[in-house]
Amino acid sequence: MEERVDEEIELGNLARDLGNSKLDQIQENPSDELMDQVLEQYNSATRHYQRAAELDPNDFRPYFGLGAIYVDSLARHFAHSHVEAIKNFQAAIARNPTFAEAYVGLSYASTQNQKYDQAIAASQEAIRLQPNYAEAYYTMGSAYFLSNRPEQAVPFYKKAISVKPSYERPYRTLSSVYVTLKRPGERLAIIKQWVSAVPRSPDALLSLGSAYYMLDEYEQALATFKQVLTIKPNWVTAHYQLGLCYYRLGNQDAAVEQYKVLQRLDPQIAQAYYRLINR
């Protein structure tokens, strides 16, 4: 019996990982075929976890897997049932109250469902169980930030970064917190720290370029967006931002060149960009 449960959970984990991988591919190359493959893998994972739960109703792992499917997909705006995620994480916790990962999943899903006190309590318990759990500090910060308490979110994002310097999410969200708090200098500093920790991260570099742009430091922004495009050459957002830098610097020819690139990559964005540089 135990071997069969383990096998179903392993198959569920594999299918969920494959679904996540294909969902990542959709971000770069959207297609109905890939979306069908994502659904197929998530449905397969769900069936395996459900079978495992039927074989051993006291095993916490199938419920955690079912909750994780929702979290993995919710993070990419693919699914919408936060309630299902909460229910499954709570079921996992009921069967194993010392499993910190389930509390982090519960915190994330609760925040998405605007149950902020529940999210904070779940993160606190995960931290109690694992004091150096970066993801728990991140979910704690997010519960505060999304419940309109940005100042209280700051130390938790900073703690997540100090525990796990290569963890990109807290840098990204903390930079947004500093925008909300109107502290551009601190935003620039945390993004520079992000780039230092993960030098080849296109997201970090794009954020750095955007921070320079917001401070009217267009030459530095320009150089940074060019660096982004050496890593991710067809990123529409980077080309858009690069073109705006050329526009702000008065280089109309280069700005038009970026329009031509955008026409090839995303005609709709290209039209919005064209209207902006020809006001």
Domain CATH code at residue 233: 1.25.40.10
Helices of type H across 181-217: 184-197, 202-214
Is 73 inside any structural domain?
A: no
b/e burial code for range 237-274 (CB count within 10 A of at least 16 → b): bbbbbbbbbbbbeeeeeebeebbebbeeebeeebeebe
Is residue 222 one of the residues assigned to a domain?
A: yes
Between 37 and 267, the higher pLDDT residue = 267
Question: Is the residue at 96 inside a domain?
Answer: no
CB neighbour list of residue 131: distance below 8 Å, 6 or more residues apart = none
Residue 223: which pLDDT band, with cuts at 50, 70 and 90?
A: very high
In which domain, by residue range, is 247 found? 212-279
In this model, does residue 80 exceed pLDDT 70? Answer: no
Q: Does some domain include residue 246?
A: yes
Query: How does residue 2 score in pLDDT terms, banded at 50, 70 and 90?
Result: confident
Structure token pair of residue 138? 């991140």
The structural domain count of the chain equals 1
Q: Assign 73 a pLDDT band (cuts: 50, 70, 90).
A: low
Q: What percent of the chain has pLDDT over 90?
A: 82
Statement: residue 75 has pLDDT above 60: no
pLDDT at 9 over 90: yes
pLDDT digits (tens, 9 = 90+) for 119-178: 999 999 999 999 999 999 999 999 999 999 999 999 999 999 999 999 999 999 999 999
Contact 122, 113 (CB under 8 A): no
Residue 257 counted as domain residue:
yes
Q: Which residues make Cβ contacts (< 8 Å) with residue 62, sequence separation at least 6?
A: 5, 8, 9, 12, 49, 50, 52, 53
Q: Which residue has the tokens 């955007």?
A: 210
Average pLDDT of the chain is 93
Domain membership of residue 217 (yes or no) is yes
pLDDT at 31: 77
Q: Is residue 238 part of a domain?
A: yes
CA separation for the pair 178, 226 (Å, rounded):
25
Q: Looking at the domain assignment, is residue 232 inside a domain?
A: yes
Q: Is the pLDDT of residue 273 over 80?
A: yes
Q: Which residues contact 267 (CB under 8 A, 6 or more apart)?
A: none
